[in-house]
Structure formats: structure tokens, C-alpha cells
């Protein structure tokens, strides 16, 4: 009889423990977490590049971008990919050979293409939370600008490596389709031509009051250019 009583008590405790566990967790159909689809993802992107173009405004900036990116989940939280974008930007022209009043002209149009590799860390691991999947990551890329024949100063933006840390989130419409929003800071180095340290022929300065574009010896600088992107992605 005592054995049966002990068995009954054990069963009752087991049932009570299961019931309590079910109350603490979420029913599968009502869980706020959903698995993110594994495999490959293609995303079409549209964005806006801001910034000031450096201390003289002659680096490309201020315009819209469009592109495409390919990503693959390398782990539950890590995602890697490739991206290509094209941006229609603007820039100023600084002529170091003329008078100060006519030195700066523009803006003029300049197209820049971007090719990059990306790494991304999903903050919610391999799942979304209430259909949201926030992330942070970084991109390393190379920028390819078009020429600007109107600029005769010797300045060229050139093929420029850049680093772009970013944060954002994905909003899953379905298990495969999602919206993407990202904010990034694009860091690149601008190099100025030797002509910027020369006195303008049309209005030369004096040793005490130089009129050269650059009189402090700073012939290069790192700049940070904000870049906001939105996109529509589909898991293959």
C-alpha cells in the first residue's frame, strides 16, 4: 500500500511540474520567436548618401543609391555576403589657380559604383522576435567613381577603399520575404593634389596671409559619410 501511495504521489508531482512548465513557456503557435530561413538571400536596395564631401566639399556625396546584395547564413547568428551599388552623387569643384571669389563652383554630378563584402551578426541569433531581426555588422569595399572633366585642379577621388560599420533590422513579412533597414557610416580617405598648396596665379597671397587652398599642410583626411539604405529581400 505504501508503494502505491508513493507512486501516486510521484505521478501527481510529475503532472504538476509539466503543467507549471507549460505555463512558464509559450505555446508553439503563439511564440514571439520564429526561425529565420537558412540558406541564400537576395536583396534589392535603395538608399541615400549624405555627408559633406570633406573639408572642401569636392569628394562625391549627397545623392541616391540603388543596388543588390547576396547573403548566406554561415551560422545561426552570422551572415556573410556580397553587395554592389551605384550612386548618383554630387560634388563641388575647387580651382586653385583663379581668384578667391571664383575658386569654388558646382555642384556637378558624379556617379560612383561600390563593390563590397559584408559580415552581419543577428542579435536574436537564428530567430526573429515578433518578426523583427535586429543586427549589426560591417562592410569592406572599393568605390569606383566616374570622371569629372570640368575639374582641372588635378584632384581625383580615384578608386577608394572604404570601411562601413552598420546597424539595422529586418522585418519579416513571411518566412522568406522581408523588409530591411540599415544605417551605416562610410569611412574613406581623401587625398588632395599638390596644386592645392600653391598660390593662385590670379591672386597670390603673402607669407603672412597665403591664398593657397591648403596652407596648413593637411593634404589628406579621413571622412565619414552617412548612408541610409532600405531593401526588399527574398530567401531562396
Bridge partner residues of 123 (DSSP): none
Q: Architecture of domain 33-235 in CATH?
A: Beta Barrel (2.40)
Predicted TM-score (pTM) of the model is 0.84
| pLDDT in the model for residue 121 | 95
Contact of 176 with 37, CB cutoff 8 Å: yes
Query: At 8, which helix (H) or strand (E)?
Result: helix 2-24
The least confident of 5-9, 110-114, 140-144, 151-155 is 5-9
Domain boundaries, the chain: 33-235
CB atoms within 10 A of CB 55: 14
Q: Render pLDDT for 35-90 as a digit per residue (tens, 0 to 9).
A: 888 889 999 999 999 999 999 999 999 999 999 999 998 778 999 999 999 999 99
d(CA 153, CA 207): 22
Question: Is residue 138 scored above 60 in pLDDT?
Answer: yes
141: CB partners within 8 A, 6+ apart: 83, 114, 115, 116, 117, 161, 162, 164
Amino acid at each position: 500500500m505504501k508503494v502505491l501511495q508513493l507512486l501516486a504521489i510521484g505521478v501527481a508531482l510529475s503532472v504538476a511540474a509539466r503543467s507549471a512548465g507549460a505555463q512558464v513557456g509559450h505555446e508553439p503557435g503563439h511564440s514571439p520567436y520564429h526561425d529565420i530561413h537558412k540558406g541564400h538571400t537576395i536583396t534589392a536596395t535603395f538608399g541615400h548618401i549624405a555627408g559633406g564631401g570633406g573639408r572642401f566639399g569636392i569628394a562625391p556625396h549627397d545623392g541616391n543609391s540603388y543596388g543588390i546584395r547576396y547573403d548566406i547564413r554561415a551560422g545561426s547568428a552570422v551572415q556573410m555576403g556580397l553587395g554592389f551599388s551605384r550612386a548618383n552623387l554630387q560634388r563641388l569643384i575647387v580651382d586653385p589657380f583663379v581668384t578667391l571669389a571664383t575658386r569654388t563652383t558646382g555642384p556637378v554630378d558624379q556617379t560612383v559604383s561600390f563593390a563590397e563584402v559584408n559580415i552581419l551578426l543577428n542579435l536574436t541569433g537564428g530567430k526573429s522576435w515578433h518578426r523583427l531581426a535586429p543586427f549589426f555588422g560591417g562592410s569592406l569595399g572599393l568605390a569606383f567613381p566616374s570622371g569629372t572633366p570640368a575639374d582641372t585642379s588635378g584632384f581625383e577621388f580615384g578608386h577608394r577603399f572604404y570601411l562601413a560599420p552598420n546597424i539595422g533590422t529586418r522585418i519579416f513579412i513571411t518566412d522568406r520575404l522581408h523588409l530591411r533597414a540599415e544605417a551605416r557610416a562610410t569611412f574613406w580617405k581623401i587625398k588632395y593634389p599638390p596644386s592645392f598648396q600653391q598660390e593662385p596665379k590670379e591672386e597670390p597671397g603673402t607669407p603672412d596671409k597665403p591664398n593657397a587652398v591648403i596652407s596648413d599642410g593637411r593634404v589628406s583626411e579621413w571622412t565619414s559619410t552617412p548612408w541610409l539604405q532600405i531593401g526588399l529581400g527574398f530567401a531562396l
